[in-house]
Amino acid sequence: MKFLIIGKNGQLGKEFARILSKNGSSFKGAGRQECDISDPAHVLELFENIKPDIVINCAAYNFVDKAETDYPNAFKVNAIGAKNLAVACKKQNAFLVHFSTDYVFDGKKIGLYTEKDSTNPINEYARSKAAGEEFIEEYLSDYLIFRVSWLYGEGKNSFIYKLLKWAKTQEYLRIAYDEFSVPTSTRTVAEYTVSSLKKGLIGLFHLVNSGYASRLEWAKLLFKTAHINKFIYPVSRKQFNLPAERPGFSAMSNEKLKKELNREISYWDDELVAFCNNSDLI
C-alpha cells in the first residue's frame, strides 16, 4: 500500500510521516509547493505520478479569524480542495482520509457531540470545513472523515506553542475559562487513523482524546507539567473580541470510534503530560 500525505509540512502531516516511517509503510508527501489542492489539474497530475492507494489530507486553511474576511481562500482549500481530492481519489481508485473540525457545531448542545448531531457552523472557517465534508460525502461512497479538535503537536500552529511563547514575553496570561473542547495530540490522531485503516473502517468519526477541558484548564496543566511559573488570569472568551465567533462548548464524544476499534483512547490530560515529557517544545 502506498500512502500520499497531502500537507506534509504541517504538524499533523509530519506526525503521519513519523508514524508511517516507524511502521515501514511506503509513502510520499506533498506540500503546497508540490500541489495546490484547489487546482484540480494539479491534483490529478500528482495522483497520476504517484498512484497512491491511500490519500491522507492534512492540508487545511486554519486561520479561523482571518477566514472571516478571507472566506474565498478558506473555501478554496477546505472545501474545493477536499472536492478535488475526492474526485481524484474516485478516478484513481484511491481511499481518502480527511480531517474536519469540532467547529462545525454551534456549541449549544448540553453534552458531548456525537456523529449523529446536526452541524451548524457559526463562523466562516467552520462553514468552509463543513462544505468540505459535504463534498466528500457527495463524490465518494468509501472514505474516512475524522473530526478533530484543539490539535497540538511538534509544530508552531497550536495553542500550546502560543502559550509557551506568551509565557516568555508577557507578565501574566489571560486565558478563557468559558471555552471548552478536547485537547487532542497529533500522535493520537495519526495512530488511531492508521488503526482505523487497518480495521477497514469507513464513514464519519470523531477522533479526539477522551474527556474535555476549558482553555484555562489546558493552560494550567501545561504550565504545571512543564514547571513554568506564570500567573494565569481567568477571563471570558468574549473579552478577546475576536473576529470569528467560537462555540462555547464543542467537545465531541469518541465512543463510536472506540467501539469500532475495541480500543480505549487516552484522556486529554494524560496525553498532554506524556507529550510534555517527550516534546522538544518544552
Residue at 27 is within a domain: yes
Residue at 57 is within a domain: yes
Q: Which pLDDT does position 252 carry in this prediction?
A: 98
Per residue in 166-222, pLDDT (tens digit) is 999 999 999 999 999 999 999 999 999 999 999 999 999 999 999 999 999 999 999
- Positions marked catalytic: 125
CATH of the domain at 121: 3.40.50.720
* Residue 201, domain extent: 2-157+183-209
Q: Is the dihedral of CA 44, 46, 51, 57 positive or negative?
A: negative
Strands 95-101 and 184-185: unpaired
Residue at 138 is within a domain: yes
Stated pTM of the model: 0.96
Q: Can you state the angle between helices 124-139 and 81-92, rounded to 10 degrees?
A: 20
The share of the chain scoring above pLDDT 70, in percent, equals 100
Paired with 174 in beta bridges are 233
Distance between CA atoms of 27 and 39, rounded to whole angstroms?
A: 22
Report DSSP letters for 142-164, one per residue. Answer: S-EEEEE-SEESSSSSSHHHHHH
Residue at 49 is within a domain: yes
Residue at 265 is within a domain: no
Residue at 247 is within a domain: no
CA distance readout (Å), 146 to 79, 172, 201, 203:
15, 36, 11, 9
Question: Do residues 78 and 61 touch, judged by C-beta distance below 8 A?
Answer: yes
Distance between CA atoms of 212 and 214, rounded to whole angstroms?
A: 7
Strands 180-181 and 213-214: antiparallel
Domain count, the chain: 1
Q: Which pLDDT does position 132 carry in this prediction?
A: 98
Per residue in 236-276, pLDDT (tens digit) is 999 999 999 999 999 999 999 999 999 999 999 999 999 99
156: closest CA among 10, 7, 5? 10
Does the pLDDT value for residue 281 go beyond 90? no
Residue at 172 is within a domain: no
Residues whose CB is less than 8 angstroms from the CB of residue 192 and which lie 6 or more positions away in sequence, other chains included = 207, 257, 261, 263, 265
**Residue 116: pLDDT band with limits 50, 70, 90:** very high
Residue at 259 is within a domain: no
